């Protein structure tokens, strides 16, 4: 190849390389300027302008100038509000505004002369001025617990240090504990405030919990006898269920019993209390429905008196306990009930109906029920359906965090919080109340498919009167069947929707238990399953019992192969037993399943203010 031509090509190649390098330098320079140098220069320009605006603002408003030795801060927002800036400051290369609340001009009066300092915060661009307050370290814990009435002892400040000024005196920290009231249960904040030389402020807090142990309250109010008598047994809200305090056991754990019966059940076996229907319902059905937080407060496998007791005039003197059974959940024992008696009166009497005691009778197949209508106890056949009032032992170190122990404001023990975030209904607790379609319901439990089982607290009404229905088909055997016209099940599933909306309910497979004669827990001889949105409750379901008093009688889903045998809850909460063919009609209390997508839309889940729903 011609030498000149080669040289020419080499020269052209070098020229192209130089051009590419120059172009690359220009591009990189442009990128650097656009992303780094330009924004930095723009930020510096805004910083200077911000400082000048601050100076002008103070000079034109001399009354705002700090006193000798003092410092004042003026935020960027202050200058916006006073119209001292024609255009707002934007983060370089963006349409986002700089931080107007945390950008400021500081003015320090030094021997009569104002000195100005600027701090501007715009995204990744920040002034170098010290803008952080001192670091405060406290003695002791950030949360301390004080017993009600006990004096609060301030632990003080361990050290205080500034990133610019260095170590400072702990006496430079202002401590404010004025809001702490140890005579009132609650949480209070103690504040610790410090400033550095540029008036940068730091505030840290310590939480003071003023609490009272429930066991201490019981001791004080019972004059150390451990059991409430006649009046004054306080109310406790545990797992959204209302309980009464009975007293203290031998280990000073607190015994609670529900304020009312929660369902009806037969006692079952009276020769082995632990295998009785009553104890199985309490520990295999009821206990699993409680929240983990509530279970954490309960003494596991605590001891309960299970002595067989003779039905005689001396029964009300029985307080000694010989035989014991270990249970997570029990119910009233004759011994504990007797310890609460004063002149034949107990502060934990039932308002309506009757409820099983834990002790069996020495008489075969008999048990005892506490009754609103009997002086002390009634003797009852072990197959009879009576109420059940669960009882638990709460750990002796449990603290009261709220409430005053009255019916209107029961003690709360911190086992749960009311919904405030419009969460799904299926995340809420057994026992909480919801309102829908003009009726109140009580949550029973969350199903595996996400639906929420709930039972109506009252009965269906029309024009303020109870809606009545029954087995209009006149079959000899009254077995609940939603496919048979005239049948109770058919009437409820197909005609009761006139009185209640069902939009939020799921259609579910509902099991009808069928018995040889009358309902006994776990003793079904057959079952039938139907798909429906609404049904009558099972007599053994939680909250299926009437505790309101004088409420209209209503049907249970439980069915019988015996002619004329029906299952109806009476006005006092006790189910009818035996032939009830003379009762052709009764009210309808519904068992329903709210859809898994139903949410809480308001309310606090209490009887007075039930949750409102949305979907």
Q: How many helices (H) and strands (E) does the chain have?
A: 9, 39
Full-model pTM = 0.75
For β-strands 386-388 and 330-331, DSSP reports them as: unpaired
DSSP 77-119: HHHHHTT--SS--B-TTSSPBP-SSS-EEEEEEETTEEEEEEE
CA distance 275 to 325: 11
Residue 403's SS3 state is coil
DSSP state, residue 298: B
What is the average pLDDT across 224-244? 92
Position 373 scores a pLDDT of 66
Other Cβ atoms within 10 Å of 11 Cβ, number = 10
pLDDT confidence bin for 582, thresholds 50/70/90: low
Q: What is the pLDDT of residues 368-411, one digit of tens each?
A: 998 876 656 888 999 999 999 999 999 999 999 888 999 999 99
Lowest mean pLDDT among 331-345, 421-435, 533-547, 575-589: 575-589
Mean pLDDT for 600-612 is: 94
Which has the minimum average pLDDT: 95-109, 219-233, 454-468, 523-537? 219-233
Distance spanning both ends of the chain, measured CA to CA: 86
pLDDT at 211: 87
State the pLDDT confidence band at 577, using cuts at 50, 70 and 90. low
pLDDT of residue 548: 67
Give the mean model confidence (pLDDT) for residues 260-270: 93
Is 352 strand, coil or helix?
A: coil
314-355 pLDDT, tens digit each: 888 899 999 999 999 999 999 999 999 988 888 998 877 889
Residue 581 has pLDDT above 70, yes or no: no
- pLDDT: which is higher, 107 or 150: 107
b/e 379-416 (16+ beta carbons within 10 angstroms → b): ebebbbbbbbbbbbbbbbebbbbebebeeeebbbbebb
Element (H, E) at 26: helix 3-32
Domain annotation for the chain: domains and CATH numbers = 3-126 (no CATH), 135-212 (2.60.40.10), 222-400 (no CATH), 420-615 (no CATH)
Percentage, residues of the chain above pLDDT 70? 97
CA distance linking residue 240 with residue 258, whole number of Å: 11
Per-residue pLDDT of 27-54, as tens digits, reads 777 777 777 888 999 999 999 999 999 9
């Amino acid at each position: 190849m011609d030498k000149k031509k080669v040289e020419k090509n080499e020269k052209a190649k070098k020229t192209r390389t130089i051009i590419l390098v120059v172009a690359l330098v220009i591009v990189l320079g442009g990128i650097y300027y656009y992303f780094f140098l330009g924004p930095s220069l723009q930020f510096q320009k805004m910083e200077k302008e911000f400082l000048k605006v601050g100076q002008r603002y103070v000079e034109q408003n001399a009354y705002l100038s700090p006193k000798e030795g003092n410092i004042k801060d003026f935020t960027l927002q202050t200058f916006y509000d006073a119209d001292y800036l024609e255009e707002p400051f934007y983060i370089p290369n963006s349409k986002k505004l700089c931080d107007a609340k945390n950008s400021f001009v500081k003015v320090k009066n030094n021997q009569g002369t104002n000195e100005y300092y600027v701090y501007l915060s715009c995204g990744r661009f920040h002034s170098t001025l010290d803008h952080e307050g001192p670091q405060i370290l406290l003695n002791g814990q950030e949360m301390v617990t004080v017993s009600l009435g006990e004096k609060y002892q301030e632990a003080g400040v361990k050290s205080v240090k500034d990133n610019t000024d260095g170590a400072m005196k702990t006496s430079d920290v202002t401590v404010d504990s004025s809001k702490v009231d140890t005579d009132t249960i609650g949480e209070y904040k103690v504040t610790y405030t410090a400033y550095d030389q540029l008036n940068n402020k730091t505030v840290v807090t310590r939480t003071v919990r003023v609490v009272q142990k429930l066991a201490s309250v019981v001791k004080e109010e019972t004059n150390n006898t451990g059991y409430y008598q006649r009046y004054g047994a306080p109310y406790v809200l545990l797992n959204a269920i209302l309980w009464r305090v009975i007293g203290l056991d031998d280990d000073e754990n607190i015994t609670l019993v529900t304020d009312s019966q929660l369902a009806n059940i037969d006692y079952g076996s009276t020769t082995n209390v632990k295998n009785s229907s009553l104890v199985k319902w309490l520990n295999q059905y009821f206990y699993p429905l409680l929240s983990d937080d509530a279970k954490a407060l309960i003494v596991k496998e605590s001891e309960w008196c299970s002595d067989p007791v003779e039905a005689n005039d001396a029964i009300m003197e029985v307080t000694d306990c010989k035989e014991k059974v270990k249970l997570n959940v029990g119910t009233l024992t004759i011994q504990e009930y007797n310890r609460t008696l004063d002149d034949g009166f107990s502060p934990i009497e039932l308002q309506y109906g009757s409820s099983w005691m834990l002790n069996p009778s020495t008489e075969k197949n008999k048990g005892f029920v506490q009754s609103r209508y009997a002086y002390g106890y009634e003797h009852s056949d072990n197959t009879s359906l009576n109420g059940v009032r669960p009882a638990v032992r709460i750990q002796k170190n449990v603290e009261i965090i709220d409430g005053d122990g009255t019916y209107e404001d029961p003690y709360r023990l911190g086992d749960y919080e009311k919904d405030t975030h419009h969460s799904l209904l299926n995340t809420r607790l057994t026992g909480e109340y919801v309102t829908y379609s003009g009726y109140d319901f009580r949550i029973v439990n969350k199903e595996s498919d996400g639906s929420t089982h709930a039972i109506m607290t009252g009965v269906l009404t029309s024009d303020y009167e109870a809606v009545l229905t029954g087995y209009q088909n006149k079959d000899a055997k009254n077995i609940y069947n939603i496919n048979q016209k005239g049948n109770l099940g058919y009437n409820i599933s197909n005609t009761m929707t006139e009185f209640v909306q069902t939009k939020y309910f799921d259609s579910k497979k509902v099991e009808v238990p069928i018995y040889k004669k009358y309902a006994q827990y776990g003793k079904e001889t057959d079952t039938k399953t139907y798909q429906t949105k609404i049904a009558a409750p099972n007599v053994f379901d939680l909250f299926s019992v009437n505790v309101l008093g004088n409420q209209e009688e209503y049907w249970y889903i439980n069915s019988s192969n015996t002619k004329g045998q029906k299952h109806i809850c009476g006005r006092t909460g006790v189910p009818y037993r035996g032939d009830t063919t003379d009762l052709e009609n009764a009210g309808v209390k519904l068992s329903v399943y709210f859809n898994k997508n139903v949410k809480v839309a308001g309310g606090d889940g209490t009887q007075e203010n039930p949750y409102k729903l949305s979907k």
